[in-house]
């Protein structure tokens, strides 16, 4: 359990101080390609912010997020020494306390009393074949989280309905999600499953694509159409509204077509480790 706590602590700090290379590369590419002077200036400032955060070991963003942890447990793994969930939350506590990261979690959504150590995290478990433990820490800020949506479409709405939901969600978010954004989309399953798919989609590297041909095409089309909205960096106009669109799908009921759109700002933080 100590090893799990140690890794979670380190991952919380790492995720908040250094952007993953896939997102960083897309941001730098966008800065080179942006044609609007103001948009280009903003992207250059975001690049500078990343460099300062890395060099001085300070958070990329003041909102260091709610800690979301994906745990893939190999079915041959036997964990001893206490509660896995307690070990993960202890890692979050240590990471946010020792890393001097902002503590943003309240113990109850109504009484709003701060827990003062950023716990508890939101933890998702998955049992998979094998004998390894895979941890993904993805701190999520709420400026962009608050702009996310779930829509329960009718099957007759089809793929055009899905496209409309994605574009409408980005339009409604406008500058509030701190663009350029990364858009995670979940299609199918149930109300809660499509939301989880959208959240997991944000942890997938931006230079990857869904293996299903029509989904890959949808990712590319949506990225192009979102950038054509000209919301631009910080919502002040430009050709870079999104750095990437990642879509995941799952089987669903004959009567349903759930769609979730989870928006993240350019600080799309995720760190993955195998133990």
**Given this model, what pLDDT does residue 59 score?**
97
Of 139, 159, 178, which residue sits at a domain end? 139
Which residue's structure tokens are 């077509």?
A: 257
Q: How many domains does the chain have?
A: 2
> Which pLDDT tens digit goes with each residue over 122-136?
999 999 999 999 999
Query: Once rounded to an integer, what is the mean pLDDT over residues 44-68?
Result: 96
Structure tokens at 93: 């506590």
Say if residue 214 is in the same domain as residue 124: no
Which residue's structure tokens are 């997020």?
A: 65
The C-alpha atoms of residue 65 and residue 72 are separated, in whole angstroms, by: 22
Say if residue 90 is in the same domain as residue 219: no
> Which pLDDT tens digit goes with each residue over 186-229?
999 999 999 999 999 999 999 999 999 999 999 999 999 999 99
The C-alpha atoms of residue 10 and residue 2 are separated, in whole angstroms, by: 12
143: which residues sit within 8 A by CB, 6+ positions away?
Answer: 63, 176, 177, 178, 265
The C-alpha atoms of residue 223 and residue 61 are separated, in whole angstroms, by: 24
Q: CB count, 10 Å around CB of 12?
A: 30
Residue 1 has pLDDT above 90, yes or no: no
SS3 at position 80: coil
Of 139, 168, 195, which residue sits at a domain end? 139
User: Domain of 68?
Assistant: 2-13+61-139
The C-alpha atoms of residue 4 and residue 66 are separated, in whole angstroms, by: 19
Of 124, 139, 154, which residue sits at a domain end? 139
The pLDDT mean for the chain works out to 96
Residue 28 has pLDDT above 90, yes or no: yes
Instruction: Using a cut of 0.85, tell me whether the model's pTM lies above it.
Output: yes
């Amino acid at each position: 359990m100590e090893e799990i706590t140690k890794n979670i602590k380190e991952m919380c700090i790492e995720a908040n101080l250094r952007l993953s290379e896939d997102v960083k590369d897309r941001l730098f590419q966008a800065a080179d390609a942006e044609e609007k002077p103001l948009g280009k200036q903003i992207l250059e400032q975001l690049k500078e912010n990343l460099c300062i955060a890395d060099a001085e070991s300070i958070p990329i963003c003041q909102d260091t997020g709610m800690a979301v942890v994906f745990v893939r447990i190999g079915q041959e793994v036997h964990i001893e020494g206490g509660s896995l969930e307690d070990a993960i939350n202890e890692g979050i506590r240590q990471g946010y306390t020792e890393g001097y990261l902002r503590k943003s979690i309240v113990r109850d959504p109504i009484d709003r009393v701060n827990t003062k150590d950023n716990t508890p995290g939101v933890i998702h478990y998955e049992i998979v074949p094998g004998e390894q433990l895979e941890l993904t820490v993805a701190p999520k800020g709420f400026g962009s989280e608050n702009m996310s949506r779930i829509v329960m479409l009718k099957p007759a709405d089809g793929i055009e309905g899905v496209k409309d939901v994605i574009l409408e969600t980005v339009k409604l978010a406008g500058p509030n999600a701190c663009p350029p954004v990364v858009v995670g989309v979940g299609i199918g399953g149930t109300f809660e499953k499509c939301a989880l798919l959208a959240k997991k989609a944000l942890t997938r590297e931006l230079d990857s694509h869904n293996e299903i041909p029509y989904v890959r095409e949808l990712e590319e089309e949506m990225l192009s159409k979102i950038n054509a909205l000209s919301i631009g960096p910080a919502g002040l106009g430009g050709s870079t509204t999104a750095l990437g669109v990642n879509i995941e799908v799952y089987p669903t009921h004959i009567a349903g077509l759930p769609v979730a759109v989870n928006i993240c700002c350019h600080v799309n933080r995720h760190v993955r480790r195998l133990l």
